[in-house]
Chains A and B, each alone.
Chain A
C-alpha cells in the first residue's frame, strides 16, 4: 500500500480514506493537472477508469471526479475538484489518455462543460437537441415529457373496477335467488295438482 498522506504535503488538498483500497483526494482546479501527472509518474496510478460528474446546484458548482487505478488494478483513487457553473471549462486531458476523448464528449453534451482543444465536440447520444443540457438539476423532465408526448386516454366507460365487480356479483346472486324461488313455486303447484 502506498502512503499517500506523507507524499502529498506541499499541494493544498484534502485526503479521505474510504476503505483499504479506495482513497479520495479533493483538490482545487489550479493544481489538478500537476496532481494527475504526479499520480501517473510517481505513484504508479496509470489508468484512467472513468470521469464522473455531479451537479451541486445548491452550492453553484459542478463536482468532477477522476477515478485512477494502479497498474496491478488493486487500488483506486478518486481525484475530485469543483468548477463554477456559469461558462464552465476544464482542461482537456485527451493527450495523456485517449479514452478521455469520448468521456469529455459525453460530459460536454450532458452537462454543458467546454473543453478547449478537444478535436471532436459533437453529439454523443442525442440528435437535434435544442433544450438545455439534460443532466443539469434545473432541467425539469416531468414538465418536458408532459408537454411533448401525451399519455393514452382512459377507457371508454371509465368505470371503477371494484365497484362494478360488486354490482355484477350482486346482480348474479339476485337472479339465482329468483330462479330458485320460481322452481320452488312450480314444484309446490305440481304437488297441489297431485
Chain B
C-alpha cells in the first residue's frame, strides 16, 4: 500500500503493532467478540448463591456486560462456584466442568475456595480448589457484593481480550496432576472422565 500519505502511515502503524497478517487480526476480533458474550451455567453450589439473583436482575444488571444465564453446561462458557464445596458436590462439579465446551472459564466467589474460609476444620469440605479444577478469577468477600461480582466479570473480559493463558489450557496440559488430586481426595470414586479420546479410540459413529 505505497499510494498516498495515509496508506504509508497505516502500513507503518500495522507493522509497528505486529498485526500484519490477517490470521492474527481474525483471532483478535474473535477474542473481542467472545469477551462480550459470556454465558453462565445455572448452578448454585453454596452460600454465595444468595447474591446471584440481585446480580442478574434489574438493580445490578449484569446483562449490560453481555452476561446471561443458561440452563445446561453444553451451552455455557463460565461456571460460577459460589462458596465452599462439599465432596459430594465436587464430584458433580468436575463432571459439569468437563461437559462444557472449550474455551471455558471458572470464577469462584468468597474466601472458602482460596484457603478453607470459616469451614476449614470441617470433615466434608475442601480447602484449596486450585488443586482439583483450574480457577481463573477469585472474587473476595463473604459474600461478595453484586458490584464485586461484576468487577470479577470485567477482569475476566480483559483477560479474554488480551489472550492470556486460561485455566482450560492448564487443565489440558496438566491432566495427570489434576486427576491424581481428584482421586486422592474423593477416595477413588470419581465418575468416568470426559477427557479420554473417545473419537479416535472408540467407534465414533464413522467407519
B123 contacts A134, C-beta separation under 8 Å: yes
Within 8 A of B (CB), among A106-135: 126-128, 130, 134
A98 at the interface (CB under 8 A from B): no
Instruction: Fill in one digit per residue for B155-185: 1 if any A CB lies within 8 Å of its CB, else 0.
Output: 0000000000000000000000000000001
* A interface footprint on B101-119 (CB within 8 Å = 1, 0 otherwise): 0000000000000111000
- B123→A152 contact, CB < 8 A: no
- Chain A positions within 8 Å of B128 at CB level: 149-152
Would you call B33 an interface residue if the criterion is a C-beta within 8 Å of the partner chain's C-beta atoms?
A: no
Stretch at the interface among A27-35, A66-74, A138-146: A138-146
Chain B count of residues within 8 A CB distance of the other chain:
17
Indicate whether A163 reaches chain B with its CB closer than 8 angstroms: no
Chain B residues with CB under 8 A of A149: 126-128, 185
* Identity of the chain B residue whose Cβ is nearest the Cβ of A134 in the assembled complex: B123
Chain A min CB distance to B29 (Å)? 38
* Pair count A-B, CB < 8 A: 35
Q: Are B187 and A152 in contact (CB under 8 A)?
A: no
User: In the bound complex, do residue A152 and residue B189 qualify as a contact, i.e. CB atoms below 8 Å apart?
Assistant: no
B122 and A145 form a contact (CB under 8 A): yes
Separation in Å of the B134 CB from the closest CB of chain A?
Answer: 15
With A141-B122, A141-B123, A145-B121 already in contact, the answer to whether A130 and B187 are too (CB < 8 A) is yes
B189 with A145: CB separation less than 8 A: no
Tell me, yes or no, whether B196 is within 8 Å of chain A by CB.
Answer: no
**Given A127-B87, A127-B88: A148 touches B121 (CB 8 Å cut-off):** no
What is the bound-complex CA distance between A130 and B122, given in angstroms?
16
> Does A141 contact B115, Cβ atoms closer than 8 Å?
no
Q: List A residues 148-192 near B (Cβ within 8 Å).
A: 148-152
Which residue on chain A has the smallest CB distance to residue B87? Answer: A127
CB-CB nearest in chain B for A139: B123
User: Complex formed: what's the CA distance from A144 to B124 in Å?
Assistant: 10
Q: CB-nearest residue of chain A relative to B184?
A: A148
Measured CA separation A141–B115 after assembly (Å): 17
B189: chain A residues at CB < 8 Å are 128
Q: Which residue of the partner chain, among A130, A134, A142, contacts B121 with CB atoms under 8 Å? A: A142
B115 x A148 contact (CB < 8 A): no
Interchain nearest-CB distance for B53 vs A (Å): 26
Most buried by B among A141, A145, A149, A151: A149
Question: Which residue in A128, A142, A144, A152 is a CB contact (below 8 Å) of B127?
Answer: A152
Cβ of B194 under 8 Å from chain A: no
Task: Contact check, A151 vs B122: say whether CB atoms are below 8 A apart.
Answer: no
Question: What are 5 A-B interface contacts by the 8 Å CB criterion?
Answer: A127-B87, A145-B120, A145-B123, A149-B127, A150-B128
A contact set with B: CB distance below 8 Å: 126-128, 130, 134, 139, 141-142, 144-145, 148-152
Residues of B near any A CB (own CB < 8 A):
87-88, 114-116, 120-124, 126-128, 185-187, 189
Q: What are the nearest 10 A-B pairs in CB distance?
A: A152-B115, A127-B88, A152-B128, A149-B127, A128-B189, A141-B123, A144-B123, A145-B121, A149-B126, A141-B121
